[in-house]
Amino acid sequence: MSGPHLSVVVPTRDNARTIAACLASVRDTTTVPFELLVVDNASSDGTPAIAERAGARVIAAGPERSAQRNEGLHQATGDVVAFLDSDMVATEGLLDEATALIADGHQAVILSEASIGVGYWARVRRLERSCYLGDDAIEAARVFSRRTLNDVGGFDEALSAFEDWDLTARVRAAGARVARTTRIVLHDEGRLTFRSAVSRKAGYGAWLEAYRARHPELAARQLSPLRRLAAYAAHAPRLARAPLATAGLVVLKAAEAAAAATAARGGAGEADPNS
């Protein structure tokens, strides 16, 4: 094809802290022809200017990340489309590997994910996420063939959370072959606080019932406390080597579950559009 083979779509709002590193990581680690599309939702902190200096095409769109991603898809020209959050960092060869998996006949690719950040609660989150690596029910796909996205209609704009799980479920139901990268994408949590972590989960919880209505059986498996406990049990040696972080993980997950349940009873609300 004459244009870029890969389109990288990054929804953002007021992410000046992380957007430059995100875009630089794509530029510095990817060898296949690509384009960068940053879909900005009315940032007031200079994010669009930073993105433009990094070589991205900036598109103004909202009101939240499902609509932003769909607008990026609409304007993308590649036959492979990757969706990164603005606080993610691609490691060497990650997107090349994902693109190759699509070329090999897969229609969707999960990017194996790890957390980085500063402070105690970021260490807790890093430990938690390490227990989910390889769990296809918890980790959603982020790279797709354009044809597959067009066939299923892209992201569901009625969901402002769980939209990545929803899309992955729909492409699987359509018969897509889903692969996983061996290389990882890093999720920069920054200086994560207990309050911000719990607040984010409450934002997701507001959309919990809407997601459950779409995928009742799958949601029951994904959201089962027993599934999470099984994941932790499978990584018991790792947890035992980090007793302080493990203690924090117990406290954090209990608080997040309570916040999500309370928000779910209140119905649809507003999730962070770029987390």
- The enclosing domain of 260 has a CATH number of 3.90.550.10
What tens-digit pLDDT sequence spans the chain (275 residues)? 445 699 999 999 999 999 999 999 999 999 999 999 999 999 999 999 999 999 999 999 999 999 999 999 999 999 999 999 999 999 999 999 999 999 999 999 999 999 999 999 999 999 999 999 988 888 999 999 999 999 999 999 999 899 999 999 999 999 999 999 999 999 999 999 999 999 999 988 889 999 999 999 999 998 888 888 999 999 999 999 999 999 999 999 999 999 998 988 876 444 443 44
Q: Is residue 273 part of a domain?
A: no
**In terms of C-beta distances under 8 Å and separation of at least 24 residues, what long-range contacts does 222-231 make, across chains too?**
222/137, 222/138, 222/165, 225/257, 227/137, 227/138, 228/253, 231/131, 231/132, 231/135, 231/138
pLDDT at 44: 96
Q: Is residue 1 part of a domain?
A: no
Tokens coding 137: 């029910």
Q: Is residue 172 part of a domain?
A: yes
Q: Count of alpha carbons within 13 Å of 190, Cβ hemisphere only?
A: 14
Q: Is residue 128 part of a domain?
A: yes
Question: What's the domain range around 12?
Answer: 6-266
Q: Is residue 271 part of a domain?
A: no
Residues written for the chain: 275
Q: Is residue 47 part of a domain?
A: yes
Question: In total, how many domains does the chain have?
Answer: 1
Q: Which residues of 101-121 are buried (b: 16+ CB within 10 A; e: fewer)?
A: bbeeebbbbbbbbebbbeeeb
CA dihedral 40, 41, 43, 49 (to 10 degrees): 20
pLDDT at 223: 87
Distance CA 234, CA 61 (A): 42
Distance CA 235, CA 81 (A): 33
* pTM of this structure: 0.92
Distance CA 218, CA 123 (A): 29
Q: Is residue 115 part of a domain?
A: yes
One-letter amino acid at 104 equals D
